[in-house]
């Protein structure tokens, strides 16, 4: 099928590439000419495992094209996806400027029956607004073209997005139009083999499904972080508690890992936006507000543990901390709302120095923080600990899982590790004479 995708960000690029890979003829549109130039020359602007070779192969096979020319791209697509960003407004609600701008552009050029699909994460009711924005342009042009606006939310995890796209556990299609269902079934047929993954529903339920999924996962994390806080106070070990509850299939093993708080471009923004939607509709979503509040507090927890160890924030002045992990999670270079950002700021405010290393996010860190005398971006994990007083682990990259504790003990000035992801066994660190603080477990120094 002929497919057009607006937005070559994370969602648009992964979706477009996977659709091309199964044989569709895909054109991706972006307003940023340098991005489009780069993509046409094989430069993929994000780090996502497996994506770059797939972009290259499909681009070379002429199934995947990139352009800034919206008019020709709109003429191309039988199905047109909107996959542009929906950042948070100041009040936490989703900013629809980009989505509605694309809708107006589509209305300016649309000339034949088309299914327009919202893939961006958008508040309930957005499909109606997109419909109105397209229709307004058609009226201005004095033309009558049939079109449907459907919702088809994405469930891609950064770091595993290609896999999630190629092997979806469900494909949610929200529309009241049989024609749209038929078109989207054809489009997704290659991903819907062996068993039925397509769930068809009305458009508002599909829009809400996306938020409900992310809010549920964020709730599980905040819940476990709250249990971790309680565990620390009552002398229990949250890792034991996790193992004790995860085996209950009603609870499950996923997303019950306590840590330094959730980050990224989705959970924080989506929990806030859903709470906001509730408020605008006369309901105070107290649970969602608490999920967000617990996460905000959790992002400061590592710093609190550090202050507790050193006796006061003043005692951190002049200290150097090695920080392992800057990305909001492993296998990505994304630092949006990453817990590391809060921690680094707190350390700098206290007058401490940071020696940081992340396997993928160094360039992003350089872009965000620029040159500063209290930040040393190090080429590897060992260089980061050299000359540091203590080590702080913020992201659970595999490469940080089994360091040489003996070496750490000899290298770190204060022989102390603050572990924001519970990667290590307190016993192992004690054997090597390392002080150890983690999340929801008894600390020793
Ligand atoms: C999330 C959802 O998992 C995807 O299904 C969804 O499609 C995506 O948002 C989106 O809306 O686009 P993502 O933000 O890439 O995906 O990352 P996750 O793997 O879900 O992790 C989010 C954060 O939660 C990370 O900071 C991670 O460290 C944290 N986390 C996750 C925990 O603290 N504990 C856990 O047990 C799991």
Residue 54 Cα to ligand 1 midpoint, Å, equals 23
In this structure, are 309 and 324 located in the same domain? yes
DSSP string, 17-70: HHHHHTT-EEEEE-S-HHHHHHHHTT--SS--TTHHHHHHHHHHTTSEEEES-H
Q: Which domain holds residue 264?
A: 211-296
Specify the pLDDT at position 352. 98
Is 319 annotated as belonging to a binding site?
A: no
In this structure, are 48 and 161 located in the same domain? yes
Specify the pLDDT at position 91. 81
By most ligand atoms within 8 Å of CB, the mutation choice from 157, 241, 343, 421 for ligand 1 is: 157
Specify the pLDDT at position 93. 80
In this structure, are 36 and 176 located in the same domain? yes
Dihedral of CA 103/105/110/114: which sign? negative
Nearest CA to ligand 1 atom 23: 262
Specify the pLDDT at position 350. 98
**pLDDT (tens digit, 9 = 90+) per residue, 195-230?**
999 999 999 999 999 999 999 999 999 999 999 999
Please check whether residue 58 lies inside any domain of the structure.
yes
Can you read off the two tokens belonging to residue 144?
Answer: 């009558």
Q: Do 155 and 168 form a contact (C-beta atoms < 8 A)?
A: yes
Look at residues 178, 201, 224 and tell me which one is the last residue of a structural domain: 201
ipTM over 0.90: yes
**pLDDT (tens digit, 9 = 90+) per residue, 328-359?**
999 999 999 999 999 999 999 999 999 999 99
Specify the pLDDT at position 357. 98
In this structure, are 361 and 262 located in the same domain? no
Is 90 annotated as belonging to a binding site?
A: no
Specify the pLDDT at position 411. 97
> In which residue ranges of the chain is pLDDT below 50?
none
In this structure, are 72 and 176 located in the same domain? yes
In this structure, are 26 and 170 located in the same domain? yes
Specify the pLDDT at position 444. 83
Catalytically annotated residue among 18, 28, 165, 266: 266
Whole-Å CA distances, 347 to 119, 314, 320, 366? 38, 10, 9, 17
Query: 3-class SS at 3?
Result: strand
By most ligand atoms within 8 Å of CB, the mutation choice from 212, 214, 361, 423 for ligand 1 is: 214
**Cα separation, 255 vs 105, whole angstroms:** 39
In this structure, are 7 and 44 located in the same domain? yes
Q: Is 28 marked active-site?
A: no
> Where residue 197 sits, what CATH number does that domain have?
3.40.50.720
In this structure, are 233 and 381 located in the same domain? no
Is 424 annotated as belonging to a binding site?
A: no
State the total domains in the chain. 3
Q: Which residues line the pocket of ligand 1, CB cutoff 6 A? A: 121, 154-158, 214, 217, 221, 255-257, 259, 262-264, 266-267, 328-329
Specify the pLDDT at position 88. 80
Please check whether residue 333 lies inside any domain of the structure.
yes
pTM to 2 decimal places: 0.94
In this structure, are 329 and 411 located in the same domain? yes
By most ligand atoms within 8 Å of CB, the mutation choice from 9, 119, 158, 271 for ligand 1 is: 158
Specify the pLDDT at position 33. 97
Specify the pLDDT at position 395. 98
**Number of the ligand 1 atom closest to the C-alpha atom of 156:** 7
Give the closest residue to 435 by CA, choosing from 422, 408, 417, 421: 417
Look at residues 263, 296, 329 and tell me which one is the last residue of a structural domain: 296
In this structure, are 314 and 386 located in the same domain? yes
Is 121 annotated as belonging to a binding site?
A: yes
């Amino acid at each position: 099928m002929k497919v057009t995708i607006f937005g070559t960000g994370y969602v648009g690029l992964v979706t477009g590439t996977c659709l091309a890979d199964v044989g569709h003829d895909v054109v991706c549109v972006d307003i940023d000419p340098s991005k489009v130039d780069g993509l046409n020359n094989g430069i993929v602007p994000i780090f996502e495992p497996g994506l770059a070779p797939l972009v290259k192969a499909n681009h070379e096979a002429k199934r995947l094209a990139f352009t800034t020319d919206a008019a020709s791209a709109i003429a191309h697509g039988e199905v047109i996806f909107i996959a542009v960003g929906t950042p948070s407004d100041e009040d936490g609600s989703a900013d629809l400027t980009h989505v509605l701008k694309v809708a107006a552009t589509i209305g300016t050029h649309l000339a034949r029956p088309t299914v327009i699909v919202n893939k961006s994460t958008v508040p309930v009711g957005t499909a109606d607004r997109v419909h109105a924005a397209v229709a307004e342009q058609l009226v201005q042009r004095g033309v009558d073209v049939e079109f449907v606006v459907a919702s088809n939310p994405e469930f891609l995890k950064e770091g595993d997005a290609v896999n999630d796209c190629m092997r979806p556990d469900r494909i949610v299609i929200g529309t009241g139009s049989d024609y749209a269902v038929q078109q989207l079934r054809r489009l997704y047929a290659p991903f819907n083999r062996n068993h039925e993954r397509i769930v068809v529903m009305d458009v508002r339920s599909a829009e809400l499904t996306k938020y409900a999924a992310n809010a549920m996962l964020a709730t599980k994390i905040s819940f476990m972080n709250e249990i971790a806080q309680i565990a620390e106070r009552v002398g229990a070990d949250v890792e034991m508690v996790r193992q004790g509850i995860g085996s209950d299939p009603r609870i499950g093993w996923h997303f019950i890992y306590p840590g330094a708080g959730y980050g990224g471009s989705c959970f924080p923004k989506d929990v806030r936006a859903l709470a906001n939607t509730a408020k605008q509709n006369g309901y105070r979503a107290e649970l969602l507000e608490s999920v967000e509040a617990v996460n905000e507090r959790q992002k400061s927890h590592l710093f609190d543990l550090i202050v507790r160890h050193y006796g006061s924030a003043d005692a951190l002045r002049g200290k150097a901390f090695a920080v392992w992990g800057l990305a909001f999670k492993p296998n990505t270079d994304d630092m949006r709302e990453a817990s590391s950002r809060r921690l680094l700021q707190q350390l700098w405010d206290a007058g401490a120095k940071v020696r940081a290393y992340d396997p993928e996010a160094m360039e992003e860190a350089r872009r965000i923080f620029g040159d500063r005398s209290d930040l040393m971006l190090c080429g590897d994990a060992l260089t980061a600990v050299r000359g540091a007083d203590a080590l702080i682990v913020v992201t659970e990259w595999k490469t940080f899982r089994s360091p040489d504790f003996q070496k750490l003990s000899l290298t770190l000035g204060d022989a102390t590790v603050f572990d924001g992801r519970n990667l290590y066994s307190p016993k192992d660190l004690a054997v090597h004479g390392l002080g150890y603080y983690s999340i929801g477990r008894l600390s020793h120094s």
